[in-house]
A and B are shown apart, each in its own frame.
Chain A
Amino acid sequence: MSTEKTIISVDDPALEVHDLTVSYDKKPVLWGVDFTVPKGALCGIIGPNGAGKSTLVKSIMNLIEVSSGFVKLFDQELDKVRKQVSYVPQRESVDWDFPASVMDIVLMGRYSRLGLFKRPRKADKDAALKALEMVGMEKFSKRQISQLSGGQQQRVFLARALTQDAEIYLLDEPFAGVDAATEKAIVGILKNLCNAGKTVIVVHHDLQSVESYFSWVLMLNLRLVASGPTQEVFTPALLEETYGGKLTLLSEVGDLMQKGAFNAREKQ
C-alpha cells in the first residue's frame, strides 16, 4: 500500500468532514472518513456499489446518525447554515405518483423561507419559474409529475434545489437513469454554479466522465481512499485501490462488530 499523500486538505473549506464513522445496525459502513472540499469546487464522490457514497452525503445532511466524528459547512454546524445548503435526494426516494404538478414540487424549495400559514407568493412563483427555465422545464410547470420521464424528474428536483439560492449543493446520484441530453444539461448548470462561486458535491458512477466533469474528486470504498484535485488523485493506482474489491479484513471486522453489538467508538 502506498504511503504518498492522497488526501489533500485545504484551508477555509466549504465542507469539512472530520473523522466520520457511520454504522448501520452496529456495522460500520464508513470508517474514519476525514476530508475537506474547497469553496467553488465541483466535487465528485466516486466508488463502487456499496462503498458508502450516498451514506456519506446523507450523514453530511444529518439524515442519518453518525457513530463518531462531525461535519462542518463553512466552519459551522449544519443547523446554523441550513439556508445556504441545498440537497437533491435520489430520484427514487419519493413517490412520483403523488398528486402534484411540477410547479408544486419546485415551490417546495421555498417552503423553508415561508413561515407557517404563509402560502407561496408571487416572488416564490417567479423564483420557481426561473429555476424551471434554468433546467429547461418551464413548459412543463403544470404537468402532473407522474407523467415525467426520469430525466425530467431529475431536472425538476434540481430546479427545486436551485430556488433555494444556496452556497453549497449536494446531489445524490443525479445522473442515475437519466438520458445523455439531460446529463449534459445538468452538468452545464452545475458548472455555472461553480463559476459563480458555489460549491457542488455530486455522487457519481461513471468513471469515463470524471475528468471532464469534476475539479475535485473523492474516492470512497468504506474508507476514504483519496480526496483532492482531479488531475492529482484520479490516477490508475488510486482507482485500482478504490475499485479493487473490498478490504475483506475491514468487512469481516464490521460483521464481527454487528454480531457483538459493539459501538463503533467506546463511550468515553
Chain B
Amino acid sequence: MELLIDFFSFEYANIKYVIFGSILLSVSSSVVGCFTFVQKKSLVGDVISHAVLPGICIAFLASGSKDPFFLIFGAFVTGWISIVAMEKITKNTKIKEDAATGLSLSIFFGIGIVLMTYIQQSGNAAQSGLDTFLFGKAAALVGKDLIAFSIVATLALLVVMIFYKELKLISFDPQFAKVNGLPVRRLELLLTSITVLAVVTGIQAVGVVLMAAMLITPAAAARFWTDRFHKMIMLAGFFGAFSGISGAFVSFAAPGMPTGPWMVMILSVIALLSFFLAPNKGILIKLLRRISIQRQLLEENMLKAFYRIGENSGDHFERVSKGDLRLIRNFSSVQLKKGLGNLRRSGYIKEDQGLLLLTQEGFDKGRRITRLHRLWELYLTKYLRIAPDHVHEDAETIEHVITPEIEVRLEQLLNYPEADPHKTQIPSI
C-alpha cells in the first residue's frame, strides 16, 4: 500500500515520466491495433516490428548518433516498405498472404540482425544501447527520447480521431468506400503509416518480440466485451493504459523487473479474464447458461412425469413416491434429490407425509410441457412426414424450447387438435 502511495505521489521525478511514457506508448498501439485486428491482419504487427530493425541500424550508420528522431525516421521507412512489399507480393505473384508475411518478416529482420552485428563489432562507442530496440526500455525512457516517442504516439492517436469514420469504413467495406469516392488507397496507406508509427513507439516499451502482443491483445480482449467498434477502441485503449501503469509500478516496486514484459503479462491476464468472464461471449457465462438449462430440463421433465402419473390414475393431485416417478422416467437419485428440492423451493410441488404432490402451478406447468410435447409430435408427423414412432425423441427437446407465441401458431396450424399421433389426448389449457 505504501508502495502504491509512493508510486502515485510522483515524488521521484523519474516515475512521472515513466508512467506518462508507458501509458502513451501502450495506448497508441492498443488503439491502432484495433484496426489491424478487425481487418484480420494481426500478423502485420509482427512484420513491422521485425522490419524496423534494419531502418534503425541504417539511420544510426548514416547519422552516427542515437538521436531518436533519426532512428524513428529510419524505423518508419523500413517498417513501411515491409508492409507495402508484402501487399505487392500478394497482389502480383502467386504467393499467398501467409507466405508473403513470413517472407517480408524474415528478410527484413535478417538484414537488421546483420547490420546490428556489424555495428556492435565496429567498436563504435556510441552504439551501446542501440539494442534496447530489440528488448524495449520503457522504464528508462527519459528526456529527448520520451518527447520524440510521445509526439509520434500522439500523432497516431490524432489520426485515428480525425479519420475515425473513414478508417472504420475502409476496414469494413473498402469496395463501398471506393464507390463512394473515398480515397481508399490513400486511407489504407495512412492506416499502414500509423500502424508503423504505433509499432515503432511500442517497441520502445516492450521490444521487437513482444510488440505483436501490444498491438493485438488489447483489441482481442476488448472485442469480448462489446459489439461496437468505438467502444472496442476505447476499451482497448483503457486496457493499454492500465497495463502501462501496472508495468511501471511493478518495475518501481521491484527494481530488477522489466517494465515492458510486465505490461504484456498484464495484458495477457486481462485477455484471459475477458475470455472467461465477459458477458455473452465469456466461457463462464456460457457454462452458467448450460447449467441453468440443464436444471430447467430436469425440472420440466419431472413435472411432466408427475402429470403422466396423474393422467394414468385420473387424479392429478394424488401423492406420489420417488419410486412412482422412476417408473415413468429413469431419474438418477442425484437428479431426484436435486430436482425435487428445486421444485419444492419454487412452489411447484409440496411434501405430504413423506410423499410428494403437485401444487396448482406445478400442475399447470406439467400440463403445458406435456401439451407442447404432443403438439410437436403431431406437427412432425403432419408436416415433416416423420413416422409416429420416430417423433418422440425430437419432441423431448423441442418441448422445452417452444415459446407461447409459437405454441399459438402451432395450434392454429394443426387446427386445434385433440389427440397426438399415438392417439393420446393433448391436454388443453
Q: A residues bordering B, Cβ < 8 Å?
A: 58, 61-63, 79, 82, 85-87, 89, 93-95, 98-101, 104-105, 108, 111-112, 114, 116-119, 144, 146, 160
Contact = CB atoms under 8 A, between A and B. Distances in A.
Contact of B172 (A82, A87, A100): A100
Given A95-B38, A98-B172, A104-B229, 18 more contacts: A61-B175, A62-B178, A63-B175, A82-B180, A87-B176, A87-B179, A94-B173, A95-B40, A95-B172, A98-B229, A99-B226, A99-B229, A100-B229, A104-B228, A108-B172, A111-B165, A111-B177, A112-B181
Given A99-B38, A116-B163, A108 B176 contact: yes
Contacts of B173: 89, 93-94, 108
A82 B179 contact: yes
A86, A101, A112, most chain B CB atoms within 10 A: A112
Nearest to B180: A112
Interface string B151-173: 00000000000110110010111
B165 A119 contact: yes
Interface residues of B, number: 25
B15 interface: no
A79 B175 CA distance: 15
Interface of B: 38, 40, 162-163, 165-166, 169, 171-173, 175-182, 223, 226-229, 231-232
16 contacts: A61-B175, A61-B179, A62-B179, A79-B181, A82-B179, A82-B180, A87-B175, A87-B179, A89-B175, A93-B173, A98-B172, A98-B229, A100-B228, A100-B229, A108-B173, A116-B162
A25 to B, nearest CB: 9
A99 B228 contact: yes
Contact of B223 (A99, A112, A118): A99
Contacts of A61: 175, 178-179
Given A95-B172, A116-B162, A117-B162, A85 B179 contact: yes
Contacts of B166: 111, 116
A61 B162 CA distance: 27
A112 B165 CA distance: 10
Contacts of B182: 111-112
A77 B163 CA distance: 27
A118 B178 CA distance: 19
Contacts of B180: 82, 111-112
A169 to B, nearest CB: 11
